[in-house]
Amino acid sequence: MTLTRGVVLASASSARLALLRQAGLAPRVVVSGVDEEAVSAATPAELARVLAEAKAKAVAGSGELVDGELVIGCDSVLDLDGQALGKPKDATEATARWRGMRGRSGVLRTGHCVIDTATGHQVSATAATTVRFGTPDDAAIDAYVASGEPLHVAGSFTLDGRSAPFVAGIDGDPGTVIGLSLPLLRTLLAELGVRITDLWV
């Protein structure tokens, strides 16, 4: 019988944690503390990947891990006309974003990095899902921003919260938008020689 490997999520995201738990994993959380504002890259896709790698590496080197644990780092940005939009700085920015996004489409890019601390091997990639935004009126946008939710999520929206009614549709994996693509995670684990089914608990 294969012993279950320990899994560590290098993220404070409750949505990512929920996705992993729903997929049969039982990760523990170690927050990276990476300053996202200090990281830059040439494209939104590259930024998402670099941030994911930075988070995974910070946790893998933190001294808080048990031997052999697998570290999963993720980060998401909304690619709108080539501009990377992370979490808004304040309610004013969130409101302006939503008024600019409605009726348009963007690409939610989520970087993934997995580090096998048993071998030191690392793999990373970025998943992309197109998001078609609906047309909420100003009052609906103001009410949504007042809820506080958009201040804590990349692009000022999420599929698993109050903004879901304002998203007209998506093309791709919904997990990418929520914060973690389980199909991509399975692929990355396989590159490290790990079957995701062996991580089930």
List, by residue number, the catalytic residues.
Answer: 75
Q: How far apart are the first and last CA of the chain?
A: 13
Q: Between vectors from CA 19 to CA 93 and to CA 43, what angle results, nearest 5°?
A: 45
113: tokens are: 């990095």
**Residue 105 pairs with which residues in a beta bridge?**
132
Residue type at 41? Answer: A
What pairing do the DSSP bridges indicate for beta strands 70-80 and 7-9?
parallel
What pairing do the DSSP bridges indicate for beta strands 121-133 and 28-29?
unpaired
Helical pair 91-101 and 138-146, crossing angle rounded to 10 deg:
140
